[in-house]
Amino acid sequence: MEDSKQNPGQPLSPEQVASIAGGDGTSCPTTVTVSGNPSLVTGGATPTDALISIYDGFVDLTSHVMERLIGAVKQ
């Protein structure tokens, strides 16, 4: 039987590991700028309103998909 192990490559330095893991701040931006209408982005005036809006969207989507599947099965 053949040995199917992949070449492990070179070991990473602690600096490389920190960079990959995002621990040194160079891998990902620390701030994100969103342009446009803030109420469309957040879904409401507060973070709680935004979460409620997202939840309601998931419920609507799930209901729509279930109705389509049930309709397809009945035909």
Domain assignment present for residue 8? The answer is no
Predicted TM-score (pTM) of this structure: 0.39
Q: Classify the phi-psi angles of 35: left when phi > 0, otherwise alpha if psi is within -120 to 50, otherwise beta.
A: beta
In a domain, 6, yes or no: no
Range of the structural domain that residue 63 is part of: 14-74
* DSSP H/E element including 42: helix 38-42
| Whole-number average pLDDT of the chain | 73
In a domain, 46, yes or no: yes
Flag whether pLDDT at 37 surpasses 50. yes
Residue 67 lies in a domain: yes
**How many folded domains does the chain comprise?**
1
Task: Look at residue 1 and tell me if it is in a domain.
Answer: no
In this predicted model, what pLDDT tens digit does every residue of 19-36 receive, in sequence order?
776 665 555 555 656 555
Closest CA to 54 of 36, 72, 41, 65: 41
Q: Identify the residue with better confidence: 55 or 24.
A: 55
| 6: three-class secondary structure by DSSP | coil
More confident residue, 46 or 4: 46
**Residue 44 belongs to a domain:** yes
